[in-house]
Amino acid sequence: MPQTLFFVTSNASKLAEVSAILAASGISVQSMALDLPELQGSIEDISKDKAKRAAEAIGGPVLVEDTCLCFNALKGLPGPYIKWFMKDLGHEGLVNMLAAYEDKSAQAVCTFAHCEGPGKEPVLFQGRTDGKIVPPRGPAKFGWDPIFEYEGQTYAEMDKAAKNLISHRFKALEMLKEWMEAHP
């Protein structure tokens, strides 16, 4: 009997990536669009808070995700605020934020939070991939993929299947899969 996960997202690319990675384990993912404003704060607090409110809103188990792009020279910022910087500044503006620094290294961080239902404490699954910030290369289809370089290729230049084997999201989903297998 395949498991179905309710995943709160309105991002079709994210849904496709998560579905593709979990399909291999027979887990089907159903998306739910739910308008959930996010808190400011630490990655962990933001994800837990979002999962709790999502579980309350739908009255059942739910999965939420938060992606951060952390520039090491900026002590981890923009981090959880990356979506606002990406939206307002675009690829060039993000690259420019590191103009004053030699250190272009960055970490892509994906945090899934699973909450079993209203009042339950969410469980977190976090994947991190190290890379560096470069001028954009590859198709601009998915967020900041063109400026995040991993071992010589940007995420945008990589074959999707190859990216799904090393990405921050893949690593987090691996942990989620293990957990789901242990908690069927």
Residue numbers at the binding site for a second copy (CB under 8 A) = 37-41, 45, 49, 74-81, 84-85, 88-89, 93, 96-97, 99-101
Q: Is 111 annotated as a binding residue?
A: no
Residues 34 and 64: their CA atoms lie apart, in Å, by 10
CB of 62 to a second copy, least distance (A): 20
Do the beta carbons of residue 115 and residue 51 sit within 8 Å? yes
CB of 128 to a second copy, least distance (A): 18
CB of 165 to a second copy, least distance (A): 31
Q: Is 183 annotated as a binding residue?
A: no
Closer of 15 and 74 to a second copy (Cβ): 74
Q: Is 48 annotated as a binding residue?
A: no
Q: Is 91 annotated as a binding residue?
A: no
CB of 153 to a second copy, least distance (A): 25
Sign, CA torsion 35/36/38/39: positive
Total residue count of the chain as it appears in this document: 184
Question: Which residue bears the tokens 């079709």?
Answer: 12
Residues 161 and 149: their CA atoms lie apart, in Å, by 16
Do the beta carbons of residue 134 and residue 154 sit within 8 Å? yes
- Kindly report whether the peptide bond that precedes residue 78 is cis, defined as omega within 30 degrees of 0: yes
Q: Is 163 annotated as a binding residue?
A: yes
Annotated binding-site members: 9-14, 38, 50, 66-67, 83, 142-145, 163, 168-169
